[in-house]
């Protein structure tokens, strides 16, 4: 019997990937996606625990879901409510205590058991909890069938983290680092390309720590994996995220210089520019180490667009520490970036540190940092005007006759073009900048840049 499924996704791209795989897993059971929670037989909230706000959003959403479930039950229908993802892993049965509307709680390594969990709920109509950790088992159990929505796709190659930065919940919610074997990844990439993907973003919480096994059991680093994937006919672009400075090895840097499909964009979080704070964060690198790394990467691929993550107001951060972050940003010159006020997460070492920074100070520092980062991003975008860039056309734009795509540097590009161009790489002359995107027109002259 046809049933409808509503999934709401919070947090990082890994959660976006997981949500897509949950839908793939449930399709054979007759579940079709709906974008309306009020008429869904199954509602899944795929949650994020990274900052307090992210976690709290889930409970307010559950309040709304409770009313929808009640309305359905009054009409003689039912609704199964599941909480998945990192809040599920971190808070477990606490969730059903706070929100009795929830029927099922399962962590990021347990969602392959969804069909079985649904059967258990149906049998018992009692709450069901699954928060085990074996990432390998999950990947082995996921269906080979993949669905692709558009021309770009995510592919999880690595999961979990052993770095234990003192502010971060990921090692607790995603578990130990695990790299999928090369053959499994190649098979999934080929399936994605067969379904129309032209660009694949390789995902991992520590993606450049990838060391999956080849057929002989030898570990393969990310740079070599990218080389292998670049051979798949039809796969034009490869990206990866998120990287850690300590795992940025020479092979991967070299790949940026000579693998044409590897796009010139790198998200390389540094978090702070102060060595004292980096040490307290347990990042395992200094500001100088990061700056030298950036130099090496730019030597291999001079036009690479750099992106980063920053935390302001980590416990004990002084004005001088913050100024060191501003100085590092000025020296690197980012094409884009994400920055956050430190949020104390229960159970992480930093939450118990003395010297918690007042919210007002965090807010003021964040504003200054974001103004600088926005200025750099605007300058990077403005510098593209007059250039011709190869743009992967993705989908219709906001206006009739318009399409949008991405430049090699991940900038959204809008242009007038027929819808049939979706999935093609087109040379586009950049004519202007709007908010956070570029405007252009199809160029007569080729770009000379690799696609
Ligand atoms: N694995 C990635 C990203 C992890 S989460 C990495 O190692 O960089 C994404 C970003 O959220 C982090 O880079 C960090 O900047 C931010 N973040 C993580 N924990 C946080 C916290 N407790 N408070 C504020 N920001 C946080
Ligand atoms: Fe979190 Fe640090 Fe691991 Fe990134 S490297 S996921 S910030 S613990
Ligand atoms: Fe959030 Fe979990 Fe991703 S905490 S950022 S959804 S790994």
Domain count of the fold of the chain: 4
Half-sphere exposure (CA, 13 Å, Cβ side) for 224?
A: 13
Distance, CA 86 to ligand 3 centroid (Å)?
6
Residue 229 is assigned to a structural domain of this protein: yes
Taking the CA of residue 47 as reference, the ligand 3 atom at the shortest distance is 6
CA of 271 to the centre of ligand 1 (A): 8
Task: Indicate whether 176 and 85 sit together in one domain.
Answer: no
Final residue in a domain of this structure, among 211, 229, 262: 262
Whose CA is closest to 178, among 154, 228, 213?
213
Are residue 269 and residue 335 in the same domain, yes or no? yes
Can you give the pLDDT at residue 196?
Answer: 95
Choose one of 14, 49, 168 to mutate for the ligand 1 pocket test, by most ligand atoms within 8 angstroms of C-beta: 168
Residue of 50, 156, 272, 273 with the most ligand 1 atoms within 8 Å of its CB, for mutation? 50
Q: Which of 336, 357, 383 is the last residue of a domain?
A: 383
- Do residues 98 and 155 share a domain? no
Is residue 392 situated within a structural domain?
Answer: yes
Does one domain contain both 378 and 394? Answer: no
- Answer whether residue 139 is part of any domain: no
Q: Are residues 78 and 188 in the same domain?
A: no
* CATH assignment at residue 421: 2.40.50.140
Give yes or no: residues 368 and 413 share one domain.
no
Ligand 2 pocket at CB < 6 A: 161, 163-165, 168, 170-171, 205-206, 244
Could you tell me if residue 7 is inside a domain? yes
Task: Report whether 12 belongs to an annotated binding site.
Answer: yes
Q: Domain check: are 9 and 130 in the same one? A: yes
Sign of the four-CA dihedral 410, 159, 54, 38: positive
Enclosing domain of residue 433: 388-442
Ligand nearest to the CA of 314: 1
* 174 shares its domain with 223: yes
Q: For residue 156, what is the domain's CATH number?
A: 3.30.750.210
Q: Is residue 447 part of a domain?
A: no
| Residue 112 annotated as lining a ligand binding site | no
Together in a domain, 121 and 8: yes
CA of 310 to the centre of ligand 2 (A): 12
Please report whether residue 52 resides in a domain: yes
Question: What's the CATH code of the domain at 354?
Answer: 3.30.750.200
Q: Would 113 be classed as within a structural domain?
A: yes
Distance 165 CA to ligand 2 centre (A): 5
- pLDDT per residue as tens, the chain (451 positions): 689 999 999 999 999 999 999 999 999 889 999 999 998 999 999 999 999 999 899 999 999 999 999 999 999 999 999 999 999 999 998 999 999 999 999 999 999 999 988 988 887 766 666 777 678 888 988 888 888 888 999 999 999 999 999 999 999 999 999 999 999 999 999 999 999 999 999 999 999 999 999 999 999 999 999 999 999 999 999 999 999 999 999 999 999 999 999 999 999 999 999 999 999 999 999 999 999 999 999 999 999 999 999 999 999 999 999 999 999 999 999 999 999 999 999 999 999 999 999 999 999 999 999 999 999 999 999 999 999 999 999 999 989 999 999 999 999 999 999 999 999 999 999 999 988 899 999 987 666 665 5
Q: What is the pTM of this model?
A: 0.94
Output the pLDDT for position 149: 84
48 assigned ligand-binding residue:
yes
Ligand 1 center–CA 314 separation, angstroms: 12
Task: Select from 9, 13, 15, 203 the residue to mutate for testing ligand 3; criterion: most ligand atoms less than 8 Å from CB.
Answer: 15
Ligand 3 binding pocket, CB closer than 6 Å = 11-12, 14-15, 48-50, 85-86, 169-170, 173-174, 205
| pLDDT score at 390 | 97
Determine the pLDDT at residue 137. 85
Report the nearest atom of ligand 1 relative to the CA of 348. 22
Judgement on whether residues 318 and 215 belong to the same structural domain of the protein: no
What pLDDT shows up at residue 311? 98
Q: What's the pLDDT at 98? A: 94
Specify if 274 maps to a domain.
yes
* Distance (Å) from CA 162 to ligand 2 centroid: 8
Do 7 and 130 sit in the same domain of this protein? yes
Ligand 1: lining residues by beta carbon, under 6 Å: 50-51, 167-168, 170, 205-206, 242, 244, 269, 271, 309, 311, 340, 342-343, 345
pLDDT value of residue 1: 65
Q: Which one of 262, 281, 302 terminates a domain? A: 262
Q: Phi then psi for 277, rounded to 5 degrees?
A: -70, -40
Residues 205 and 313 in one domain: no
CATH number at residue 26: 3.40.50.12160
């Amino acid at each position: 019997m046809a049933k409808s499924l509503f999934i709401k996704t919070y947090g990082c791209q890994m959660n976006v990937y997981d949500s897509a795989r949950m839908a793939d897993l449930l399709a054979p059971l007759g579940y079709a996606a709906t974008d309306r929670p009020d008429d869904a037989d199954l509602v899944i909230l795929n949650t994020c625990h990274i900052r307090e706000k992210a976690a709290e959003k889930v409970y307010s959403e559950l309040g709304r879901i409770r009313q929808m479930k009640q309305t359905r039950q009054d009409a003689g229908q039912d609704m199964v409510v599941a909480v998945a993802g990192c809040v599920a892993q971190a808070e477990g049965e606490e969730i059903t205590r706070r929100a009795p509307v929830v029927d099922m709680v399962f962590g990021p390594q347990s969602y392959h058991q969804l069909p079985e969990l649904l059967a258990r709920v149906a049998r018992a109509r009692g709450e069901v909890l699954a928060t085990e950790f074996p990432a390998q088992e999950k990947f082995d159990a996921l269906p080979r069938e993949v669905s692709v929505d558009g021309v770009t796709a995510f592919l999880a190659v690595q999961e979990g983290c052993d770095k234990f930065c003192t502010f971060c919940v990921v090692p607790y919610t995603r578990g130990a680092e695990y790299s999928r074997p090369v053959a499994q990844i190649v098979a999934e990439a080929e399936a994605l390309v067969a379904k129309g993907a032209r660009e694949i973003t390789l995902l991992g919480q520590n993606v450049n720590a990838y060391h999956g096994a080849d057929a002989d059991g030898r570990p393969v680093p990310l740079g070599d994996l990218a080389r292998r994937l670049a051979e798949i006919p039809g796969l034009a672009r490869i990206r990866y995220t998120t990287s850690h400075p300590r795992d940025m090895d020479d092979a991967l840097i070299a790949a940026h210089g000579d693998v044409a499909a590897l796009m010139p964009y790198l998200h390389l979080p540094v978090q702070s520019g102060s060595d004292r704070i980096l040490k307290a964060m347990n990042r395992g690198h200094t500001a100088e180490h990061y700056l030298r790394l950036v130099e090496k990467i730019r030597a291999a691929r001079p036009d690479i667009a750099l992106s980063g993550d920053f935390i302001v107001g980590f416990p004990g951060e002084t004005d001088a520490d913050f100024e060191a972050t501003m100085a590092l940003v000025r020296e690197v010159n980012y094409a884009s970036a994400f920055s956050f006020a430190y949020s104390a997460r229960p159970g992480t070492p930093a939450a118990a540190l003395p010297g918690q920074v007042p919210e007002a100070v965090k807010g003021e520092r964040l504003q200054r940092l974001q103004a600088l980062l926005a200025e750099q991003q605007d300058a990077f975008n403005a510098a593209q005007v007059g250039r011709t860039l190869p743009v992967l056309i993705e989908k219709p734009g906001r206006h009739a006759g318009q399409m949008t795509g991405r430049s090699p540097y991940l900038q959204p590009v809008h242009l007038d073009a027929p819808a049939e161009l979706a999935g093609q790489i087109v040379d586009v002359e950049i004519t202007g900048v709007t908010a956070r995107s570029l405007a252009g027109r199809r160029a007569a002259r080729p770009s000379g840049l690799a696609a």
